[in-house]
C-alpha cells in the first residue's frame, strides 16, 4: 500500500491558507448532511460574491466545497486522519500578495456572522497566524506549540480556547464542542480582538486601491481570452515570472499567440502583479516577430508589457494536455482500491444508487485533487478553448490611458513613515560630533553583555538592565585556603579552595581591571572587554584590594612606554592627570576610540548594509553621515 499513499500525495507550497466552516448539523444521514451543506454553501457563495464581485485575485480564488462524514475516508488517504463533523472546506494559495490572505480572513469572519452558529477555523504555513498580530496580548501559556487547534472565529469574534491542564494537544472536534458549550469562556480578550481587526480595517472598500490599469499591446487571441475571463491575467503573470528554459522555447515559437495582429487594450492587474511583470527582465527574440519601438519611446512600456503578458499565456497554452479519462487513469485505480479496503462503500451493492453516489463523490474528489496538482494543464485547456471559441470583434481604442505607477518608487522618508506606522516610533540615539562617547559605549556594552534565551536573540530593554542566568556550580569543592588541616584533606580526599578569591584574581587578569583611584576612570577602562568564564560565580560582597598588584604596575609602565611610539599616537587620548613624570603622556580614551572606529566602519559602507549599521540599527543608534562629517 506504499504506492497507494502516494496517489494523492502533494507538496504544498508555503503560501497556502486552509480554512474550515463547521455549521451545526446533528444528523448522521449522508444525504441529509449533503443537502444541508449544499444549502449552506449556496448562502456562503452569495456572501462571498457580494464582497468579491469584480475582484482580481493574485493567485487562487476563495473557494469552498462540501465535506460530509464520508469524506473522512477520502481525506484519510490524503494524509489527514482526524474524523471531522460535516463542514465546508477550502485551501487557497495567495502567492506574494499577503493582502489576499487577510481578505480571506475578512470573508471568513463575515461568514461566521451571517451563517448562524457556524464555527470557522483558518491557518497557514505559519500555523495560527492570527495570533501573530496579537502577540503582545497573548496569555503566558500561549506559544506556537500550545495554540495549535485553539484559534477559531464564531459569531464575528475570535475565540482562543484556554489550556485547562499541562496537556497542550486538542483536536478540532473537541475544540468545536467546547466553543458551542461555553462561547463566553472561549472568546478572546478585547486586545486580541482589536489587534486582529486592525488588519481588516478598510475591507472591502480598499480592494479597488490595490488595482492598477495598464495599456498594453497584445495578440488578438490574448485579448479574446482576457475579454472572456479577465482574472486569467494572474495565472499568465505567474507563469511568465516563474518561467524556465523549456518555457522560453515556447516563448520563442509563439505557436498559439503569434505577435502579428496585435491590438491595444487596457488590462487590470493587482499592484503586486504589475510590479512583478514590470520588474521581470526579458528581451524577446526578434526572429519571433516582435517589433518593439526604441527604449526611449513613450510606447515602449506598453509594448514590452504586452510581450511579457503574451508570453505568459503562451507558456500556459503550451502546457495544456488532452483531458484524460478517469477510468483509464492508473492513479484512480489505486485510489479506488484503497477506498474499498478502508470500507468506504460499506455494504452497498456495486452499481446500486448509494454505491454510485459514493463512487461519483470519490471521482470528483480525485479529479479536483489531481487538477490542483497540475493546474497549468487545466488552465492551458481553458485558455485554448476561450481563444478559439470567442467571436468578438477586436478594434484598437486610441484613447486608452495608463494609471499612474509612481507608487512603485518609495523614498527613504516614505519607507521610514511606513515603518513608524507599523512598528511605532523607536527611541533613537543620534550620533554626531557632539555625542558623548561614554554614553555611546555604555549602550554598546549593555548590548554586548545582554544574554538571550533559546527562543532567539533579543535586544536589551531600555527600562531594565540585562540579567545573566545563574551559573551552574561545580559539585566538586576546591579550596586554596590554608585553613584546613592536612589530616582532614587526606581523609576527605578533596581539594578545597576559596572560589571567590580565585575567580576575582582570574577576572582581574582577564579584564586587566585597575582599582579605582585618582588617576583612572574605572567605568570606561575595561567595560568593552568584559567576558566571563563558564565557572565564574559572582560575589557581590567581595571588595577589591586597595593595594595595586604587580600586573597593574606593569601595565602602567607599558602604557607609558607606548605613549611615545607610533602605536600610542594612533589612539585618542584623555587629558593628562597624574603622569607628570612622563612628558606629554596622556592615557588612551577607550570610549572615544571605540566610537571613532565604529564611525569609520560606518563611513566605509558608503550607505550600504554592513556590520556597523546592522548591529547599531536594532540597538536604536542612528548614524547620520551628513551630520557626522569628519571623524576628527
Write out pLDDT tens, residues 507-527.
Answer: 666 555 444 444 444 444 444
Question: Is 520 strand, coil or helix?
Answer: coil
Whether residue 466 has pLDDT greater than 70:
no
C-alpha triplet 413, 418, 423: angle, nearest 5°:
125
Distance from C-alpha of 570 to C-alpha of 549, rounded to nearest angstrom: 28
What's the mean pLDDT when you consider all of the chain?
Answer: 77
Whether residue 482 has pLDDT greater than 90:
no
Distance from C-alpha of 173 to C-alpha of 161, rounded to nearest angstrom: 13
If phi > 0 it is left, if psi is from -120 to 50 it is alpha, else beta; for residue 582 that is beta
| Residues 186 and 159: beta-carbon distance below 8 Å | yes
Q: Which residues contact 80 (CB under 8 A, 6 or more apart)?
A: none
pLDDT at 436 (0 to 100): 62
Question: Is 442 strand, coil or helix?
Answer: helix
CA neighbor of 229 nearest in space, from 387, 395, 96, 95 = 387
Whether residue 38 has pLDDT greater than 50:
yes
Angle, helices 611-619 vs 437-448, to 10°: value is 90
pLDDT at 485 (0 to 100): 45
Q: Which residues contact 112 (CB under 8 A, 6 or more apart)?
A: 21, 118, 119, 120, 153, 154, 155, 156
pTM of this structure: 0.67
b/e for 453-481, b at 16 or more Cβ within 10 A?
Answer: eeeeeeebeeeeeeeeeeeeeeeeeebee
How many Cα atoms within 13 Å fall on the side-chain side of residue 289? 14
pLDDT at 375 (0 to 100): 64
SS (H, E, C) 60-80: CCCCCEEECCCHHHHHHHCCC
User: What is the helix (H) or strand (E) element at residue 439, kind and residue range?
Assistant: helix 437-448
DSSP code for 449: T
Distance from C-alpha of 194 to C-alpha of 173, rounded to nearest angstrom: 27
Whether residue 270 has pLDDT greater than 80:
yes
The residues that bridge with 431 in the sheet, in sequence order, are 623
Whether residue 301 has pLDDT greater than 80:
yes
Cα 268 to chain centroid, rounded: 28
pLDDT at 480 (0 to 100): 39
**Higher model confidence: residue 294 or residue 328?**
294
pLDDT at 330 (0 to 100): 72
| Residues 341 and 270: beta-carbon distance below 8 Å | no
- Provide Rg for the chain, Cα atoms: 35
pLDDT at 119 (0 to 100): 97
pLDDT at 455 (0 to 100): 61
Distance from C-alpha of 296 to C-alpha of 345, rounded to nearest angstrom: 68
In terms of Cβ atoms closer than 10 Å to its own Cβ (0-12, 13-18, 19+), residue 8 is buried
Q: Which of 52-61, 105-114, 559-568 is the least confident region?
A: 559-568
Q: Which residues contact 178 (CB under 8 A, 6 or more apart)?
A: 161, 185, 186
Sheet holding 87-93, edge to edge: 65-67, 87-93, 16-22, 119-124, 151-154, 157-160
Q: Assign 200 a pLDDT band (cuts: 50, 70, 90).
A: very high
In terms of Cβ atoms closer than 10 Å to its own Cβ (0-12, 13-18, 19+), residue 410 is exposed
Distance from C-alpha of 109 to C-alpha of 120, rounded to nearest angstrom: 8
**Higher model confidence: residue 158 or residue 631?**
158
Q: Which of 91-100, 316-325, 487-496 is the least confident region?
A: 487-496
Distance from C-alpha of 365 to C-alpha of 344, rounded to nearest angstrom: 13
Distance from C-alpha of 579 to C-alpha of 560, rounded to nearest angstrom: 9
Question: Is 222 strand, coil or helix?
Answer: helix
| Residues 96 and 58: beta-carbon distance below 8 Å | yes
Q: Which of 326-335, 421-430, 540-549 is the least confident region?
A: 540-549
Question: Is 485 strand, coil or helix?
Answer: coil
In 350-422, the DSSP E strands lie at none
Which three cell numbers mark 277?
A: 511583470
Highest mean pLDDT of the ranges 334-338, 369-373, 400-404, 518-522 = 400-404
Q: Which of 248-262, 270-284, 328-342 is the least confident region?
A: 328-342
Q: Which residues contact 164 (CB under 8 A, 6 or more apart)?
A: none
Q: Following DSSP, what letter does each residue of 99-159 receive, concatenated?
A: HHHHHHHHHHHHHHHHSTT-EEEEEETTBSGGGGTTGGG--TT-STTT-TT-EEEETTEEE
C-alpha triplet 516, 517, 522: angle, nearest 5°:
35
pLDDT at 508 (0 to 100): 65
pLDDT at 598 (0 to 100): 74
Q: Which of 226-230, 267-271, 275-279, 346-350 is the least confident region?
A: 346-350
| Residues 192 and 134: beta-carbon distance below 8 Å | yes
Tell the residue number behind the cell numbers 499591446, with chain if given: 217
Q: Assign 207 a pLDDT band (cuts: 50, 70, 90).
A: confident
Tell the residue number behind the cell numbers 521610514, with chain if given: 416
DSSP code for 344: T
pLDDT tens-digit map of 79-95 = 556 788 999 999 898 98
In 424-537, the DSSP E strands lie at 429-431
In 315-469, the DSSP E strands lie at 429-431
**Higher model confidence: residue 417 or residue 594?**
417
pLDDT at 155 (0 to 100): 94
The residues that bridge with 20 in the sheet, in sequence order, are 89, 121
pLDDT at 360 (0 to 100): 84
Distance from C-alpha of 365 to C-alpha of 206, rounded to nearest angstrom: 35
In terms of Cβ atoms closer than 10 Å to its own Cβ (0-12, 13-18, 19+), residue 9 is exposed
Whether residue 614 has pLDDT greater than 80:
no
Whether residue 473 has pLDDT greater than 60:
no
| Residues 186 and 161: beta-carbon distance below 8 Å | yes
Whether residue 548 has pLDDT greater than 60:
no
Distance from C-alpha of 305 to C-alpha of 289, rounded to nearest angstrom: 16
pLDDT at 531 (0 to 100): 42
pLDDT at 310 (0 to 100): 96
| Residues 467 and 449: beta-carbon distance below 8 Å | no
pLDDT tens-digit map of 163-196 = 887 667 899 999 999 999 999 999 999 999 999 9
pLDDT tens-digit map of 103-155 = 999 999 999 999 999 999 999 989 999 999 898 899 988 888 889 999 999 99
State mean pLDDT over 557-569. Answer: 71
Q: Assign 279 a pLDDT band (cuts: 50, 70, 90).
A: very high
The residue length of the chain stands at 632
**Higher model confidence: residue 157 or residue 381?**
157
Q: Which residues contact 558 (CB under 8 A, 6 or more apart)?
A: none
Amino acid at each position: 500500500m506504499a504506492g497507494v499513499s502516494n496517489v494523492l500525495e502533494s507538496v504544498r507550497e508555503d503560501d497556502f491558507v486552509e480554512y474550515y466552516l463547521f455549521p451545526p448539523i446533528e444528523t448522521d444521514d449522508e444525504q441529509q448532511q449533503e443537502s444541508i451543506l449544499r444549502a449552506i454553501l449556496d448562502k456562503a457563495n452569495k456572501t462571498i460574491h457580494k464582497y468579491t464581485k469584480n475582484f482580481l485575485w493574485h493567485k487562487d480564488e476563495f473557494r469552498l466545497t462540501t465535506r460530509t462524514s464520508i469524506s473522512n475516508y477520502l481525506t484519510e488517504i490524503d494524509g489527514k486522519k482526524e474524523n471531522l463533523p460535516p463542514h465546508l472546506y477550502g485551501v487557497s494559495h495567495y502567492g506574494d500578495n499577503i493582502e489576499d490572505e487577510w481578505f480571506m480572513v475578512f470573508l471568513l469572519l463575515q461568514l461566521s456572522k451571517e451563517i448562524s452558529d457556524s464555527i470557522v477555523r483558518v491557518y497557514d504555513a505559519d500555523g495560527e497566524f492570527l495570533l501573530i498580530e496579537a502577540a503582545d496580548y497573548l496569555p503566558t501559556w500561549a506559544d506556537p506549540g500550545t495554540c495549535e487547534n485553539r484559534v477559531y472565529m464564531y459569531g464575528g469574534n475570535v475565540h482562543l480556547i484556554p489550556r485547562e491542564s499541562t496537556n497542550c494537544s486538542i483536536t478540532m472536534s473537541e475544540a468545536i464542542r467546547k466553543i458551542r458549550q461555553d462561547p463566553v469562556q472561549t472568546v478572546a480578550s478585547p486586545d486580541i480582538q482589536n489587534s486582529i481587526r486592525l488588519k481588516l480595517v478598510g475591507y472591502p472598500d480598499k480592494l479597488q486601491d490595490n488595482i492598477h490599469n495598464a495599456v498594453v499591446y497584445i495578440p488578438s487571441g490574448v485579448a479574446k481570452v482576457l475579454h472572456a475571463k479577465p482574472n486569467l491575467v494572474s495565472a499568465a503573470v505567474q507563469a511568465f515570472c516563474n518561467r524556465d528554459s523549456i518555457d522560453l522555447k515556447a516563448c520563442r515559437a509563439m505557436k498559439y499567440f503569434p505577435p502579428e495582429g496585435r491590438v491595444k487594450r487596457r488590462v487590470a492587474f493587482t499592484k503586486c502583479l504589475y510590479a512583478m511583470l514590470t520588474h521581470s527582465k526579458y528581451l524577446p527574440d526578434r526572429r519571433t516577430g516582435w517589433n518593439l519601438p526604441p527604449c526611449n519611446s513613450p510606447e515602449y512600456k506598453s509594448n514590452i508589457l504586452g510581450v511579457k503578458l503574451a508570453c505568459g499565456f503562451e507558456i500556459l497554452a503550451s502546457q495544456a494536455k488532452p483531458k484524460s479519462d478517469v477510468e483509464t487513469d492508473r492513479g484512480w485505480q489505486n485510489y479506488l482500491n484503497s477506498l474499498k479496503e478502508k470500507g468506504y462503500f460499506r455494504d452497498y451493492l456495486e452499481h446500486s444508487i448509494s454505491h454510485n453516489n459514493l463512487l461519483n463523490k470519490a471521482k470528483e474528489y480525485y479529479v479536483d485533487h489531481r487538477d490542483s496538482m497540475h493546474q497549468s494543464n487545466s488552465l492551458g485547456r481553458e485558455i485554448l478553448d476561450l481563444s478559439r471559441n470567442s467571436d468578438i470583434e477586436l478594434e484598437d481604442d486610441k484613447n486608452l490611458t495608463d494609471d499612474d505607477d509612481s507608487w512603485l518608487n518609495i523614498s527613504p522618508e516614505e519607507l521610514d513613515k511606513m515603518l513608524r506606522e507599523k512598528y511605532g516610533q523607536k527611541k533613537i540615539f543620534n550620533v554626531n560630533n557632539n555625542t558623548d562617547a561614554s554614553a555611546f559605549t555604555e549602550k554598546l556594552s549593555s548590548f554586548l553583555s545582554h544574554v538571550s534565551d533559546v527562543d532567539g536573540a533579543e535586544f536589551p530593554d531600555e527600562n531594565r538592565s540585562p540579567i545573566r542566568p545563574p551559573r551552574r556550580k561545580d559539585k566538586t569543592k576546591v579550596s586554596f585556603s590554608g585553613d584546613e588541616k592536612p589530616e582532614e584533606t587526606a581523609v576527605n580526599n578533596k581539594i578545597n579552595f576559596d572560589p571567590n578569591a580565585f575567580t576575582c584574581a582570574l577576572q582581574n587578569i582577564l579584564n586587566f581591571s585597575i582599582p579605582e583611584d585618582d588617576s583612572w576612570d574605572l567605568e570606561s577602562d575595561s567595560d568593552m572587554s568584559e567576558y566571563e568564564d563558564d565557572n565564574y560565580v559572582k560575589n557581590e560582597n567581595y571588595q577589591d584590594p586597595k593595594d595595586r598588584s604587580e600586573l597593574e604596575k606593569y601595565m602602567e609602565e607599558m602604557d607609558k612606554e607606548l605613549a611615545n611610539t607610533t602605536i600610542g599616537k594612533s589612539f585618542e587620548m584623555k587629558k593628562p592627570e597624574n603622569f607628570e613624570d612622563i612628558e606629554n603622556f596622556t592615557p588612551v580614551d577607550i570610549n572615544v576610540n571605540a566610537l571613532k572606529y565604529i564611525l569609520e566602519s560606518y563611513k566605509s559602507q558608503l550607505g550600504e548594509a554592513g556590520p556597523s549599521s546592522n548591529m547599531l540599527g536594532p540597538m536604536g543608534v542612528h548614524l547620520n553621515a551628513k551630520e557626522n562629517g569628519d571623524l576628527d
